[in-house]
Chains A and B, each alone.
Chain A
Amino acid sequence: MNNNANLFLDEAATRIEGPLLFAHRRVDVGLNEMVEVTGSDGRKRLGRIAALDNDFMTIEVLESTSGLSLSNTRISFAGEPISFNLGPGILGRVFDGVGRVIDGGPPVAAIKKMPVDGGILNPMRRVKPSDFIETGISAIDVLNSLVRGQKLPIFSGGGLPHNQLALDIAMHARLRSPSGNHEEKFNEEFAIVFAGIGVPYDTAEKFRASFEESGALGHTALFLNLASDSSSQRLLTPRFALTAAEYLAFVEGRHVLAIITDFTNYCEALREVSASHGEIPSRKGYPGYMYSDLATLYERAGYLKGRPGTLTQLPVLTMPADDITHPIPDLTGYITEGQITLDRKLDREGVSPPINVLPSLSRLMKDGIGEGFTDPDHPALANQLFAAYSRTTQVRLLSNVVGAEGLTPADRRFLEFGVEFEEKFIHQDGPRTLDQSMDIGWQLLSRLPDSELSRLTDEQIARHLHKRRA
């Protein structure tokens, strides 16, 4: 199909508007195919064909168009969609947002060329994700468990430690077999794809340093689109990173954790590019197709029948003004399988990680916990902790006005429970095993009377709470 490989046009451009370049259609090319636009400065800019008619074509330039002129501009056609050349050598390497090596080393030897837009995973060929991943974080492991093949975003805000949390998860995540032993093999075939979209230089450096120090860089492919890079390139960064992740997962058969931060920058770029196309904006100026566009990225996670590898996604986004109803977290939440929400108040109180468990959720949790997966009583424990902590927030609302004195004794007990829950369970100084986390959970519940524990059976109360109360 690569019959247009050496096709190019000179002196064809007729108009440049923002990232769009209009040109005479003097060659036979197809929609969405890759082009390279070279200006008189000699710089090659990646682009794609966005519209075609009998006489003209519209090219979306995915890098800055500054410096391009109508004359002396060469457009070369690849005759195929934008693709990424991949090989086993991508681990341990650092790339820019469009898959070019930037760590000073030689180019990666390619064994497979994959289109960056990916294919559509056939829902019928998917395996239901159910392998529990122990992250070492109580608020996640006990209450919002992560399973292999899931996409679980972190909803954060500016200045909150989401990057630290993402790194902690990347360093400690391991598979737990039903017997409770950790499967060593998981770590051998484990790979991380880390993509920074529009991240400042110092953050990018910190990531690179952390991966190097911990020795994790050897099984990591790092994609860095810096804040100073062009915004339209941000649209390609997650696509290149996920293509690499798919290669590692479905071609090499590894268990891949893809951490992509920060999706808010991606959506801002999407809005910018949409505006330059003159499209009718939807909520807050974001394009109406943002849901579908995000879905084509987030849905690239999963587990396929008959293939050994898996792809788990952990995207990070910062909620503008901490507003969970903003279109970016809102649309993300509709696509992903839950979310881990960070909370500014908890952060100020020194709770680390500052995860607010109530607005957090893991939709696939039920398939990866309980009998045969973790502990038979894990679901009940999680359920009861949620119910009790949610009661706490109601009581806090009440006590704001009338003070703790106006509360019934039962309500006062929940105030105490809330404080302990945040200080002892959510807050942690180092990674915990699931058993340690669950033990703290039972400990906290043992302070509540049986009449307030309607989510537990009598047997569960006898098994876990009686000895702790004694």
Chain B
Amino acid sequence: MKDAVIHWISGPVMKATAYKPFKINEAVLVGEKKLLGEVVRLHDDEITVQMYEDTSGLRPGDPVAGEGNPLSVRLGPGILGNIFDGLLRSLDGEGRDFLYPGQNLPEPPIFNFKPLVEVGQIIKGGDAFGQVRTRPKPAKTHPCLVPPDKGGEVIAINERGDYTDIEIICTLRAQDGEEQQLAMSHKWPVRTPRPVAERLSIGPPLLTGQRILDCLFPTARGGKAMVPGGFGTGKTVLLETVAKWCNADVIIYLGCGERGNEMAGVLDEFPHLEDPVTKRPLMERMVVIANTSNMPVAAREASIYTGVTVAEYFRDQGLHVALMADSTSRWAEALREVSGRLGELPGEAGYPAYLSTRLAEFYERASRVRTLSDKGGSLTIIGAVSPPSSDFSEPVTIHTKRYVRNFWALDRRRAQARFYPAIDPLISYSEDATDLAKWWQKQGAPNWNEHRRRFLTLLEEQTRLERMARILGKDSLPPKQQLVLMLADLVNEAFLRQSAYSPKDRFASPKKQTKMMTVLDSFMDMAQKAVEAGIEVEQISAMPEVRRLQRMGEEISEEEMESFDTLQTALTTAFSGLLANVQEGDVV
């Protein structure tokens, strides 16, 4: 089929003379190898196409075939637990050590289908017309949803049996009499958000098991957070850690323009880790979309939409989904590169003027919803940003900040001291925190908000005092202020620092986090009283119990909660000892 013929080509952009009407954003297949592209501009009979694959070897005269619909991905039961490229094509397969353009896709997977509706029934978009078993033991099923834009009376449905995920297994008659054919999987255009019945306000917290996030800068389910940080500050490790331990049902891990070895690391590690809730391998709830930095740039631009569309697909099944996008800066750069090739007028730092609109569109797809089939679902987006030169005033950081509610800024100084997670508590913020305090109170942490405020105030105070100490010398600070410095250090060491690789410390339940906050809070009270009674700060920091406090995250596991009470008692005794000594001294 020849719908158009190439007449100009350079890099990933080509122009062709069209013999049939094309639509904007229509997917096209180009040349003998059927390379994928997307129409980005129409002018009389000339179409401009952005190519998603390497264009080497293409030449004027090569044919272009229109797909008729916008760039779409196929959503179905075969997605969960697998790895795909930026256009949701499977990367699986022996002998595909190197990827070349226009490679054939693997055979469609086969699943055991069980119908859930009968002929004559009326079903609407978002309803399940059947389900497939994706795992025999323990049994796990995946619903087959009617695509949101379809629905009607069931006029035919296949019996229980094995089918490929693209076979027609159900036919509907819509109200206008048109027949619609459904398979287990369906295609959906990536740039169009999937509809929902209703958007709800943000829900309970997305628990990550990371103390600095859950307690200081929490994000809600359906919320959106950004993680800006220069190279080497631990963005990827943080995103991977959240992907491992957060309480979402499905994780979409989007490696957008990142390292190939990192993807290998995820594939190597996740199958061996256990979901703290379901006790199943973590890989079973993951979808990895790997568009590594050496893959074609235009596909990187599309990959972020692919990721969020897959996430919405699972949200529509009534699941809680978290999308990690690492890194949105690479996506913005791809946008810039393609825009440059199209000869558009550059805006700030060469980015196109519509950068901010595109970012808004993307982050707005995060939501807590009532789905079309009346279930509750949510989609949380966590996007990494890689600002050039760690400069947080660059366009991608600034514009993203306008649309997200939670800001987890990574700090190079902390990262260099190998203090992880290297989140800077002074410039990070969480707009969700106030709403989430109620949730913590219900979980048996009535003072959560007070503790949180106290920790943040201490850290704030610390920087102010350290600036002063730089001029006056630490020794000349009054004991009360020296105590502030010591306590702030303790908040950092004992609470905020958390090792992603220590089996006891890598995940902290809300209960453990509450216990740790409470112990620290009471230590602070006792220390303040002691200093008021004339005890030197150095005496307090030399107490052997302080070392236990510093290391409690790594030393006390989830199963040993009573150890926190033991520690608490030990601290109380130690302080009484100190005070008793002072009083005796007074007498003498």
Contacts and interface: CB of A to CB of B under 8 A. Distances in A.
Interface string B411-444: 0010111110000000000000000000000000
27 contacts: A31-B10, A31-B58, A50-B10, A51-B9, A51-B11, A52-B59, A53-B7, A81-B56, A120-B100, A121-B292, A123-B290, A124-B96, A127-B264, A128-B265, A128-B268, A128-B269, A291-B293, A304-B97, A325-B389, A325-B390, A326-B389, A359-B232, A363-B232, A363-B236, A401-B471, A408-B474, A451-B547
A398 B469 contact: yes
A251 to B, nearest CB: 12
B232 A390 contact: no
A373 interface: no
B493 A30 contact: no
A420 B386 CA distance: 36
Given A32-B56, A295-B293, A123 B91 contact: yes
B3 interface: no
Contact of A288 (B337, B390, B415, B472): B337
B330 A122 contact: no
A390 B417 contact: yes
A408 B294 CA distance: 51
Contacts of A397: 470
Interface in A297-346: 299-302, 304-305, 307, 325-327, 330-331, 333-335, 337-339
A207 interface: no
B74 interface: no
A442 interface: no
B232 A338 contact: yes
A448 interface: no
A165 to B, nearest CB: 19
Contact of B97 (A54, A121, A333, A339): A121
B388 A327 contact: yes
A451 B55 contact: no
A122 B99 contact: yes
Interface string A208-238: 0000000000000000000000000000000
Contact of A451 (B263, B386, B474, B546): B546
Interface of A: 25, 28-33, 50-54, 58, 81, 117-129, 149-150, 250, 279-283, 288-289, 291-292, 295-296, 299-302, 304-305, 307, 325-327, 330-331, 333-335, 337-339, 358-359, 361, 363-364, 366-367, 379, 382-383, 386-387, 390-391, 397-398, 401-402, 405-408, 411, 450-451, 454, 457
Contacts of B340: 279-280, 288
B550 interface: yes
Interface stretch (B148-156, B254-262, B312-320, B565-573): B254-262
B501 A379 contact: yes
A33 B56 contact: yes
A233 B183 CA distance: 53
Contacts of B470: 397-398, 401-402
Interface in B478-507: 493, 501
Contacts of A367: 265
Nearest to B490: A454
Given A29-B59, A121-B97, A128-B268, A299 B294 contact: yes
B261 A52 contact: no
B45 to A, nearest CB: 14
Contacts of B267: 123-124, 128
Residue of A50, A54, A304, A334 ringed by the most chain B CB atoms within 10 A: A334
Contacts of A51: 8-11
B244 interface: no
A40 B416 CA distance: 58
A349 B340 CA distance: 47
A330 B388 contact: yes
A304 B261 CA distance: 10
Contacts of B388: 283, 325, 327, 330-331
Contacts of B546: 451
Contacts of B493: 454
Contacts of A289: 297, 333, 337
A123 B472 CA distance: 55
B189 to A, nearest CB: 26
Interface in B136-165: none
Nearest to B389: A325
A296 B337 CA distance: 15
Given A279-B340, A363-B232, 11 more contacts: A53-B8, A54-B60, A126-B260, A128-B269, A296-B293, A299-B293, A305-B97, A330-B389, A333-B231, A408-B538, A457-B555
Contact of B418 (A32, A327, A339, A383): A383
A295 B58 CA distance: 23
B100 A119 contact: yes
A405 B474 CA distance: 10
Contact of B83 (A50, A124, A325, A387): A124
Contacts of A408: 474-475, 538
Given A31-B58, A401-B470, A334 B231 contact: yes
Contacts of B475: 406-408
Interface in B81-128: 83, 91-92, 96-100
B265 A121 contact: no
Given A28-B59, A30-B58, A330-B389, A121 B471 contact: no
